[in-house]
Chain A
Amino acid sequence: MGINWDWQDAAGVFPLLLEAFVTKTLVLTVVGSLIAAALGLVWAVALRELPTPVSKVLAWVLDVIRMTPLPLQAFFLYYVFVQLDVMTIAFIVLGVHYSTYMAESYRAGIESIRKGQWEAATALSLPKSRTWRAVIVPQALRATLPSLGNWAIAMFKDTPFLIVIGVAEMVTSAREYGGENFTYVEAFTIAGLIFLAASYPTAVLMRRLEKRLAY
C-alpha cells in the first residue's frame, strides 16, 4: 500500500467511532426515519383528502422543502429555534426533509391500489377514515416499504451534514480524531466500514422484506 496503515491507530479510533455511530448516526437515522415515515403518510393522505386549494398549497410547501438543501434547513431551524437542543433540531430536520420524499413514495403506493378496493369499501359503507386505515394504508405500506427503506438509507448517509449545527456524528468524530492524532486514513476507513457494515445488511434486509411482503 502506498499509504501507511497503523493497526494500533485503527484499534484506538474504533471504539470512539462506534460510540458516535450508535449514539448519533444510528439514533438520528432511526428517529428521523420514524418521523419521516409518519409525516410522509400524513402528507400523502392529506394531499388526497384536503380540498383542492389547500392540497395545492401543501404540495407546493413540500416541493420547496424537497428542493432546498438539508444543511440549509438545519441552519434555518437552528437559528429560529435557538432554545431547542441540536439533537432535537436534527430529528426535526431529517424527519421533515425526508417526509417530503416519503410522501411521494406513499403517493405512488396509494395510486397503485386498484380502484376496486375503494369501490368495495364504499359498497360495504365503510367510512372514509376506516377505508384508509383498514384497506388503503396497509396495502399502500406494502407497496411503499422498500422505497421507504431506501430513503432511510439515504438519510443515514446525509447525517454528516448535521455538523453545520454542531451534531458530531461519526464522520465528524473521525475527522476530529484524525486531526488530533494524524490518523485520517485509519479514522475515515473505519468510519466508512462502519457505514457499510450497517447499510449493506439493511439493504439486503429490505430486499428480503420486499419479497416476503408481496401477496
Chain B
Amino acid sequence: MPTDNPTGGPADGSTSGDAPRIVFQDVVKKFGDTVVLNGLNFTVAKGERVTLIGPSGSGKTTILRLLMTLEHLTGGYIYVDGDPLTFEERNGKRVERKPKDVARVRRRIGMVFQQFNLFPNMNVLENITEAPIHVLGRSKDEAEARARELLEQVGLGDKADAHPTQLSGGQQQRVAIARALAMDPEILLLDEVTSALDPELVGEVLGVLREVAKNTDITMLIVTHEMQFAQEVSNRVLMFDHGRIIEEAAPDVMFSNPTEPRTREFLQAVL
C-alpha cells in the first residue's frame, strides 16, 4: 500500500487495532452504462450503527452488496479493519485480490436479506450450523450448542428441528439473523429485513435486532424504512440520493431537523 494509506492500517495490510471498521474510498459502481455510485467515500467506526436512508434506487442495497462481495466493484476500494476487501492498491495500481484473501476478509461480514434466503433443504439447526462447521471448522456439538443458544435469543428455542417452510416470515427472518450471528461477524448488514413481512410480524424481528444492538458490539449497516427503529439503534444516519450522501447526522437531528430540503421531502413521504 502507498504511504498515503487512507485506512490508517499498517503498510503490510494486516489487521490493525485502530483502523476504522469500514472504509469506502472513491467507490464506483456501474451496471453496464448506469452509474450507481460515482466516487463514494465514507467511514464507519468500530461498533458504530449506521442507518442508510434515501429514496428507492439511490444505491443503498448496492453499497451493502458491494461489502458482501455480491457485486463486482467497478472502481475504488473498500477496506475492512484496514484490509482491502476485493481490490487493493499495489505500486500505484488497482489490482484484484485473490479469492482466498477476499474470503478471509469477507468472513468478518454477515448479511441478512429482505427475502430471508434460508436453505429450504435444511432444517433450522442445519441452516445455522452449516457455515460454522464448514467455514470456521467448529465441531458439530459446539456449533449446535451455539445455534441453540442463538435460537433461544431470537425466541425460537423450540424450532431447531423445524423446516423453514413451516415457519412464518417473521420466524424465518429471525432464523436468518441467528444464522448470520452464528458466524460471529464483526459487521452485520441488514437490507430492509422487515420489508417482505406482514405488518404484524415486523415487531418481533425488530425486537430481536434491538437486543442484538444492545447486547453486542457488532458494527451494523442498516437499510430500513422503520425510522423509529433506526432512531433507537443507530448512532448516525446517512441520507442518500442518486448514490451520493447528501446529508449525514445523528438520528435525532436527522429525523427531527434535517438540513437538506431533499431529506425533508423524503422523510415526509416515509414517516
Q: Measuring CB to CB, which residues of chain A are less than 8 angstroms from any residue of chain B?
A: 114, 116-117, 119-120, 122-127, 130, 134-135, 138-139, 142, 215
Contact = CB atoms under 8 A, between A and B. Distances in A.
B68 A122 contact: yes
Contacts of B70: 119, 122-123
19 contacts: A116-B115, A119-B70, A120-B119, A122-B69, A123-B110, A123-B111, A124-B110, A124-B131, A124-B180, A124-B183, A125-B106, A125-B131, A126-B134, A127-B134, A127-B135, A134-B119, A134-B122, A135-B121, A139-B119
B113 A215 contact: no
B68 A130 contact: no
Contacts of B110: 123-124
B92 interface: no
A122 B113 CA distance: 12
Contacts of A130: 134-135
B118 interface: yes
A126 B117 CA distance: 14
A119 B176 CA distance: 13
A135 B164 CA distance: 14
B244 interface: no
A100 B54 CA distance: 49
Task: Report whether over half of chain A's contact residues are helix, strand or loop; otherwise say mixed.
Answer: helix
B103 interface: yes
B120 A139 contact: yes
A124 B112 CA distance: 10
A126 B68 contact: no
Given A123-B110, A125-B103, A130-B134, A138 B121 contact: yes
Contacts of B165: 215
B107 interface: yes
Contact of B180 (A116, A122, A123, A135): A123
Interface residues of B, number: 26
B86 to A, nearest CB: 12
Contacts of A122: 68-70, 106
Contact of A126 (B115, B120, B130, B180): B130
A122 B189 CA distance: 13
B268 to A, nearest CB: 33
B183 A125 contact: yes
Contacts of B130: 124, 126, 134
Residue from B130, B163, B179 whose CB has the most chain A CB atoms within 10 Å: B130
List the 8 closest pairs (A to B, CB-CB), nearest first: A124-B131, A120-B117, A116-B117, A123-B111, A138-B121, A125-B107, A125-B135, A130-B134
Interface in B122-150: 122, 130-131, 134-135
Given A116-B115, A215-B165, 11 more contacts: A122-B68, A123-B109, A123-B110, A125-B106, A125-B131, A126-B131, A126-B134, A127-B134, A134-B122, A134-B130, A215-B163
Nearest to B108: A125
A120 B113 contact: yes
Contacts of A126: 130-131, 134-135
Contacts of A127: 103, 134-135
Contact of B119 (A117, A125, A142): A117
A139 B131 CA distance: 18
Nearest to B163: A215
Residue from A114, A120, A139 whose CB has the most chain B CB atoms within 10 Å: A120
Contact of B117 (A119, A134, A215): A119
Contacts of B117: 114, 116-117, 119-120
Nearest to A139: B121
